[in-house]
Amino acid sequence: MDDYHPPSTLWEVNRQLHFDEPLDGDSDPRWVDTEAARGEYSHGRLYRSLGVSAHLTFVGQPPDRGYYLFSGHRGCGKSTELRRIRKDLHTDDLYYVVFGDAAKELDVNNLRYHDILLHFAGRLADQLADDDIAVSAQHLESLRDWFTQRVEKRERTKEFAEQARAGLGAEPGIPFIARVFGEMSTALKTNSTYKVELRRTLQNYFSEFAAAFNRFIEASASSIREANQGHNILFIVDGTDRLRDEDARSFFLADVHQLQQVESLFIYCAPIHLVYESGATTHGFTNVFQLPMIKIENEDGSRNPDGYSAMRDMLHRRADQALFSDGVEDYLIKYSGGHPRELLRLLQVTFSFAEGTLFDMDSANQAVRHVASDYRRILNPTDYETLVGIDQSATAQPNSPVARHLLYNLALLEYNNFFWRSHPVIRTTNAYRRALADAG
């Protein structure tokens, strides 16, 4: 990490600036600890729910079961933070974390709760195999039997089952579970000819599957403890914030009880607008943790030095400090609204406008105008009035469909203590200024 040198030319910055890669905590030299910069937010509350202290040790008895939502704006750093949580908690003294990214590993287009749970059964088995943690066959029988009875012996999925277990013996060991559930998950993802039938099976016999999975989890947790690789299993599910709207409603609202038939600790990533729409905390989830924007301004408009400092660090790990003309970093930070991906986008667009060897103020100005024009394309004329109203309101947040829509498309940003502000680039537009003038 010490050997890391940020890109020292604009071209190099451009080459290395990608939006499709979440950072893997402090093992990635570009990662910046933003916890303190997000206002009063910290992962401490989440960790305490899991019985973990700020020093990353257990305090008291950790919970056996819990379903947590981890939410935040698109691009605010949820995936990066979930990976950091994995890194913090996946220790011999704490949890055996099984991490999965639904968006990558599953088909989030029409994803149901059982798809996820089936996938994670396979992932758990896979990870145990990788870590050489044995689970006695008798504890795996129920899961093996479920497969045999509900998949292998059914005429329509028999052929699939044969292919899935080809080369495996009858012994219901970890490799067996890893293979067959992995194959089922792949079949569900890749739209195979068996997808519909497998889904129907899962749905019809989900309670059986959940019970078998529970036994597998229980036995695995015991083996993990024996192997001194953690005290309990914690599933972290990234990518579920990407579910299409109706799937998200089913997953987080309608099917929440099915989801809880699997008894373990789960952290699910959830879309921010749904959290507001549903009040998800009262609907079966143990707790909701929202990752706010990096707080660059306090509610009274004064500058938050911690926020600026963290975002400056972010920039300087993507581009050498010497590449910025005076004041450009803070200018970009100001117009990012404390949103990390928006900051990187502004950097990217500034690069595209730059004509010299530096990120200069003229290019940064043009970048702000350009990003503002992206918002002009997607906002309705009346949206500006809503944004002005929210910006002018001291505390009360209108939890209306329009406001949620604005949150969804990042026109509205949420900061800690749940105060909302319009995206700063939008405030540069004539439409916003007109709405502001009209509002008196």
Partner 1 sequence: MNTDTATWPLLSEHSGPFLRLQRTLRGRDGFTLCVLVYSDTPYRIRVSDFLMERLDVTAPIAVNSDSQDGVDPILTRLARVASPVQVVDLDLWSAGLHDLLERLNHRRESIAELFPHPLLVWVRSIDIRALATRAADLWAWRTGVFDFALPPETHRSSVHGYQTDAVAMDATERRERVQAIRAYLADRHVLRPIDAELLLELGDLQRWAGDIESAQKAYREAEAALAQTDDRRRRAIARGRIADLLAMRGHLDSELKIRREEELPVYEELGDMRLYALTKGEIAATLTLQGDIPAALSIRREEELPIYERLGLDRLAVVTKGQIADLLFEQGQLEEALRIRQEEVLPWFEQAGDVHSRAVTLGRIADVHMAQGWLDEALRIRREEELPVYTELGDRRSYAATQGQVAEILVSRGELDEALSVLREEALPVFEEMDDLVGLAFIYDKIGNIYQGQGRLDEALQVRRDKELPIYDKVGNRGAWAATQGQIAGIFEGLGRLGDALRIRIDRQIPVYEELNDQPSLAATRTLAAHLMVMQGRLDEALGIIDREVLPAGSFLDNREVLVPTYMLVADILGAGKRFDQALEVHTEKVIPLCDRLGDEHSRARSLFSVAQILAALGRVEKALGVLRDQVAPVFEALDDVERRAETSREIEELSGSDYYVGSNCPAPDGPQVCVERSDGTRLDPDRAVTALKWGGPGVFGLGGHHDGSKLLGAALLLDCGVDLHVVRRVHERFASVVIAELADEWTLRVSYIRAWLDGLGSSSGSGQSSPAPLTPPR
Give CA 326 to chain center in angstroms: 35
Nearer to partner 1, 240 or 290 (CB): 240
Nearer to partner 1, 57 or 373 (CB): 373
Q: Tokens for 130?
A: 């990788």
Give CA 318 to chain center in angstroms: 22
User: Which one of 352, 357, 393, 417 is in contact with partner 1 (CB under 8 A)?
Assistant: 352
User: Which one of 324, 351, 419, 432 is in contact with partner 1 (CB under 8 A)?
Assistant: 351
Nearer to partner 1, 75 or 284 (CB): 75
Q: Does 103 bind partner 1 (CB under 8 A)?
A: yes
User: Which one of 87, 90, 370, 434 is in contact with partner 1 (CB under 8 A)?
Assistant: 370
Q: Tokens for 37?
A: 């910069």
Segment contacting partner 1 (CB under 8 A): 194-202, 216-224, 276-284, 345-353? 345-353
Q: Does 382 bind partner 1 (CB under 8 A)?
A: no
Q: Tokens for 347?
A: 């950097």
Q: Does 28 bind partner 1 (CB under 8 A)?
A: no
For 213-253, give the DSSP string. HHHHHHHHHHHHHHTTS-SEEEEEEESGGGS-HHHHHIIII
User: How far apart, in Å, are the Cα atoms of 134 and each of 36, 173, 223, 419?
Assistant: 40, 8, 7, 49
Q: Does 13 bind partner 1 (CB under 8 A)?
A: no
Nearer to partner 1, 5 or 377 (CB): 377
Burial bucket for residue 45 (CB in 10 Å: 0-12, 13-18, 19+): exposed
Q: What is the closest distance, in whole angstroms, from the C-beta atom of residue 172 to partner 1 in the complex?
A: 32
Nearer to partner 1, 67 or 359 (CB): 359
Q: Does 70 bind partner 1 (CB under 8 A)?
A: no
Distance between CA atoms of residues 156 and 35, nearest Å: 51
Segment contacting partner 1 (CB under 8 A): 277-285, 370-378, 393-401, 418-426? 370-378
Beta-carbon neighbour count of residue 228 at 10 Å?
9
Q: Does 5 bind partner 1 (CB under 8 A)?
A: no
Nearer to partner 1, 149 or 191 (CB): 191
Distance between CA atoms of residues 98 and 83, nearest Å: 11
Nearer to partner 1, 11 or 418 (CB): 11
Give the number of residues written for the chain.
440
- 3 state DSSP class of 385: helix
Site for partner 1 in 241-260 (CB under 8 A): 242, 244
Distance between CA atoms of residues 51 and 199, nearest Å: 36
Site for partner 1 in 250-309 (CB under 8 A): none
Nearer to partner 1, 410 or 431 (CB): 410
CA 258, 261, 263, 268: dihedral to nearest 10 degrees?
0
Write the interaction track for partner 1 spanning residues 408-437; mark x where CB under 8 A is met and - where it is not.
xxx---------------------------
Distance between CA atoms of residues 317 and 335, nearest Å: 19
> Regarding beta strands 66-72 and 265-271, do their DSSP bridges make them parallel or antiparallel, or are they unpaired?
parallel
User: How far apart, in Å, are the Cα atoms of 373 and each of 232, 425, 428, 431?
Assistant: 49, 9, 10, 11
Q: What is the closest distance, in whole angstroms, from the C-beta atom of residue 50 to partner 1 in the complex?
A: 27
Q: Does 15 bind partner 1 (CB under 8 A)?
A: yes
Residue type, 76: C
Q: Does 35 bind partner 1 (CB under 8 A)?
A: no
Q: Does 3 bind partner 1 (CB under 8 A)?
A: no
Segment contacting partner 1 (CB under 8 A): 46-54, 207-215, 349-357, 432-440? 349-357
76 half-sphere exposure, CB direction, 13 A CA radius:
32
| Binding footprint of partner 1, residue count (CB under 8 A) | 37
Q: Does 377 bind partner 1 (CB under 8 A)?
A: yes
Contact residues for partner 1 (CB under 8 A)? Answer: 11, 14-15, 18-20, 74-75, 101, 103-104, 107-109, 191, 239, 242, 244, 341, 345, 348-349, 351-353, 355, 366, 369-370, 373-374, 377-378, 405, 408-410
